[in-house]
Structure 1
């Protein structure tokens, strides 16, 4: 059973408490497997023309009311703070957004630890400060459905004026939904309370809707601060968009350097990610990959780390365990549930191959758009970047960084706990280089209409 089939089987419309008719489907709708799609970045040159395009595109953005049902393609629209300003929103509304969102991702480089080769001055032109005003994303089941939806979007763009298309980037993955390094991606997704779906095995309970949807109660028992007026903020959410160039060859070379046999190389990669390539978690299959387990959504997330307190099965520094420490004892305490995110990452470029080496990295356009949705998106990504990705204090590993997405300005190391002596592998480099990003706001459908029709006048 696929992702959507699994969701449909667990969906109970009588349990819905969210205003699904007003929420963009992309917030709740999982991408298909296999999937293809496109990201388009636009700049608003003239407010009236920009609002006209928003109004036109809004007609093609589906609501989340049918989010568990099959669909060939769908699109979502998000706006940066600079974009909202360019669209002519009143100053009172612009100032009601949180500071981090108002400043934008580039200006938050210090908080995000985006230094050196990840610094904003190295980013692609579309992501330079103030450039990306509108981000349009389309997901589809196949190229035919994608092309039809792109054609409709381009027809609306061609009929508008005062907006410049900065660039587009197609992406996609096969039925295994693997990332550039050959590992199944975006398995662990939170269940949103009030969405009508019960938690999957391995999830203790649904997460309060206000962690993802503005205007709903959060884990703290009250809504997080949202933009005003209410029609602008309610039922929207925030989006983190970060584009990475993946250095798959450098990763392959690192694994080959520290493990001899093919099986040992696969196992080392699994230790770094926390899962085998199929998606099977190490804690459920410690010694070898289990594709049947990895492809089973009712089992591949049914675990925590409480029975592996020393990290002998899944290292504390593994990418997956860092970003979702579920059941781990952390040196620096934090509430895991307020850092939960809805992942919408997308892979682009050639499929992973063991034959790729570091010499190939400069020649191949391969990477991932790391995209997630949360009512606390900017706070969450800055916490993750500062504490869980680019430090190791919370797991007693000092300055050891995430081996997959950490910024390694100098070669770092990866620690594998073992009896009697742990292994420390040196030579970890930046396997995912940041090429740009932005903080975006994904308005509700009524807010898109309000913006498109200048409802503040």
Structure 2
């Protein structure tokens, strides 16, 4: 969903949120096409970290910024270790959710991050709580990215007592494809009070408090917020997980279990839940429909109410697992409190059909799975435990997500059919976790408070 499309749906008179205090990356979509940079920073000493935050804060746009001539923008998030390194008082630190305090690596059991996804095998930038601050820059072309990166580098070089522990560039063309060649980040919730009208396929906007701290959530009350108010209000929580994608292994799997290219594309669409263009299976059951996939007014306008048996879109498909859309599940849940704002970013060369497992190399293709939610840690741990790495909620026992599930041993993918379902064997781990962290994305006023050590006033 491009910023231009969102802007067409924006009505200033419908705004009830403090947009001028909320970081733009929470509520404003990335461009398409896009290029960008993720940088991970370690605070060697408190004064240097606070100085850097104060410097960067001047370059972070707010969600109130709808300037059509903006071609690059940045966002900043902090880990618990980063807040502690800044000298934030214990009373404030202890007000954060326990999973955030512990960090992603320490929550490996809850996240089912074991085997080849275990923290001891992560990249150095994400180990031993090195990542204190994550800076993300998005741009719609290389020239604007270079200018924004140069600005960030000037601020980093002017700061002392900090160390850049990792950087990674990313980007996609106008097709906005993920590493496997499927159009990405189509389904996004509309946030009540943001001034943006719901898009087709959504009954209503989701309560702002599901994404913005201090606002009422779907329960009618705010989610617990860090203290003091200036630190927590208008912020949100972020999950960042970096994956290497085994695109060649994915291609090999499709070739091994389907006949010609058309059959391979159908099996892939059944595993993902959408065709490569982004057209959902339930709206294009006979084949891909690129016009539908590219139309933001239609490509998300569906649910699974008329496909209760999964004959069109299998229950175990990736997109159906992560957004059941009124599907019957054996584990009851409120879908609206598991909604997330996705800001994922793809890196590496585009997918091609010719790639094989022999072409898969570490850090060549992959994605940063990034999402924002006031309930981020409960949500990711629920998703990892129930919807991704189990199948009980759809009566499929131990069957895992065929795209992002961790498969210690080859698994299966079930395709409902008449007269008998088909079980496709040999599903492996197509996305290997290389690191991640639980982060907090402060408001703009909170960044200023952190930069000047407001707790000392």
**Partner in structure 2 of residue 143 of structure 1:** 142
Residue-pair matches, total? 456
- Asked if 2 retains the 8 angstrom alpha-carbon contact of 1:8 and 1:68, the reply is no
**In the alignment, what sits opposite 1:446?**
445
Q: Distance in 2 between matches of 1:95 and 1:363?
A: 37
Is 2:5 aligned against 1:6? yes
Unaligned runs of 5+ in 2: none
SS at match of 2:116: helix
SS in 2 for 1:306: coil
Deviation for aligned residue 1:430:
0.2
- Is 1:249 matched up with 2:245? no
Residue aligning to 2:275: 276
Where does residue 403 of structure 1 map in the other structure?
402
Does the 8 A contact of 1:11 with 1:68 survive in 2? no
Quick one: distance in 2 between partners of 1:314 and 1:306? 11
Contact 2:271 2:318 in 1 (8 A): yes
Question: 1:4 deviation in Å?
Answer: 2.3
Corresponding residue for 2:152? 153
1:372 aligns with 2:371: yes
Deviations 1:88-107 (A, max 9, x none): 10111111101000000000
| Equivalent in the alignment of 1:84 | 83
Match of 2:269, SS? helix
SS of aligned partner of 1:15 = strand
Counterpart of 1:231?
230
In the TM superposition, residue 51 of structure 1 has moved relative to its aligned partner by: 0.2
Asked if structure 2 preserves the Cα contact closer than 8 Å seen for 1:177 and 1:185, the reply is yes
Contact 1:231 1:447 in 2 (8 A): yes
Question: Could you tell me which residue of structure 1 aligns to residue 427 of structure 2?
Answer: 428
- 4+ residue runs over 4 A deviation: 67-70
Alignment check: 8 A CA contact 1:47 1:88 kept: yes
After superposition, where does 1:183-198 map in structure 2 within 5 Å? 183-198=182-197
The two structures, once aligned, show a CA RMSD in angstroms of 0.9
For residue 181 of structure 2, what is the aligned residue in structure 1?
182
Instruction: State the distance in 1 between where 2:2 and 2:447 align.
Output: 28
Aligned to 2:389: 390
- The residue that corresponds to 2:54 in the other structure is 55
TM-score in terms of structure 1 length: 0.99
| Aligned partners of 1:23 and 1:445 also within 8 Å | yes
Maintained 8 Å contact 1:211/1:219: yes
Name the SS of the counterpart of 2:227 in structure 1: coil
For residues 118 and 412 of structure 1, the distance between their equivalents in structure 2, rounded to whole angstroms, comes to 16
CA distance in 2, matches of 1:80, 1:99: 13
Contact 1:29 1:68 in 2 (8 A): no
Deviation at 1:167, TM superposition (A): 1.3
The equivalent of 1:362 in structure 2 is 361
Name the TM-score, length of structure 2 as normaliser.
0.99
Give CA deviations for 1:162-182 in whole Å, capped at 9, x if unaligned: 000001100000001000000
Report the secondary structure of 1:245's partner residue: strand
The answer on whether the counterparts of 1:4 and 1:70 sit within 8 Å (CA) in structure 2 is no
- Deviations along 1:230-278, one digit per CA (max 9) or x if unpaired, are 0000000000000000000110000000111111100110000000000
Q: In the TM superposition, what whole-angstrom CA distance separates every residue of 1:109-134 from its partner, at most 9, and x where no partner exists?
A: 00000010000000000000311000
For residues 117-167 of structure 1, give each alpha carbon's deviation from its aligned partner in whole angstroms, at most 9, with x where no partner exists: 000000000000311000000000000000000000000010110000001
- CA change 1:46–1:219 in 2 (3 A) is same
